[in-house]
Amino acid sequence: MVATSTLKPKSSECVSELADRRYDHGCIDAGLDVWLDCLDETQRTSDATEDRTCQQLAKMFENCLSRAKKTTLHCSSVLVPEKLTRRIAREVLRLASCEPCGLRGSVLYVHLELDKGCKQLERIVYDATVVPTFELTLVFKQDGTAWPSLRDFLFMGTCFAPTFRHALKLSPGFRLVKKKLYSSSAGTVIEEC
């Protein structure tokens, strides 16, 4: 017997077919319950693993922004919209799902789009033991509607340009660019979210 997602739980056709073969109804019900429990457990395990991977990936993006705030972005804090890193992580997992090695075969380039162009924040290799099969470029966007802080405003007209911003606010939008490597049908997929 093969358990699939198309199995109708305790369908009358299945039970009557087995009853015609002289199987005990109690035994049939118990057997079907075992298979249904196995299917449910497999689905729960798969969902939990995917959720854990999504959380880890979101945390990687948050850590990347945290490291970059003083070294690359020159600001004291980065304001990230609620659930932005989680949304990005889900999109990355979706794009990685059709790859031979999944997320393990990815190289992630993290950028921030600023007024003057893009800044590379970090290069993340998810699993260094796997040869990369695709690249993902994540571009965070700066929120253009954010007002500059009073301290930034006071320094704008002076000859002493500020080298350290108080806060950088990110937009809820982002861009993901997927580039397949080592493939005869190599192509680029651009997703704007």
Domains of the chain: 32-145+165-192 (3.90.470.40)
CB atoms within 10 A of CB 60: 18
pTM of the model: 0.65
Q: Give the Å distances, CA to CA, from 108 to 19, 92, 164.
A: 56, 9, 27
Cβ contact 170:80 at 8 Å? yes
Look-up of token digits 């075969």: 105
Distance CA 180, CA 135 (A): 6
pLDDT tens track for 49-85: 678 989 999 999 999 999 998 888 888 888 999 999 9
Helix (H, G, I), strand (E, B) or coil at 134: strand
pLDDT tens track for 10-28: 455 554 555 555 555 555 5
Q: How many residues does the chain have?
A: 193
Closest by CA position to 134, among listed 93, 103, 111, 90: 103
